[in-house]
Amino acid sequence: MILLTIAASTCLLLSMLIMLITSSISKKTSQDREKISPFECGFDPKTSSRIPFSLQFFLIAVIFLIFDVEITLLIPLIIILKTSKTKEFIIISSFFIFILLLGLYHEWNQGALEWAT
């Protein structure tokens, strides 16, 4: 038991010593002009990094995600076609596509798909 405690203490001490040494070696000076200058991006690092973005871009991205998920729900309908009756398949797939088109019409009617106003 004492041997196990000594081994654990040695490992802990050695790990802390290695972390302390690497921490002190890797200290970077923030006064280096080349390290604080922008690197091929053109943004000034001294200003705020919060740049406002277009709300319409966000809405288009959300709409894309919604329709992308709905497409993944449509793909298994092809596999279901083999195991279900044709009439039931047509009714279910037509209803699903009708709901998609209704949502698209609603977004279009609300003006979420128009980029420039």
The pLDDT-based confidence of 8 (bands split at 50, 70, 90) is: very high
What's the whole-number mean pLDDT along residues 11-26?
89
Query: Does residue 64 register a pLDDT over 80?
Result: yes
Angle at Cα 62 formed by Cα 114 and Cα 95, nearest 5°?
A: 90
Asked whether 108 and 115 are in contact (CB, 8 A), the reply is no
User: What b/e string do you get for 5-27 counting C-beta neighbours within 10 Å, with b at 16 or more?
Assistant: eeeeeeeeeeeeeeeeeeeeeee
Highest mean pLDDT among 18-22, 40-44, 50-54, 77-81: 18-22
Q: Which residue has the higher pLDDT, 3 or 51?
A: 3
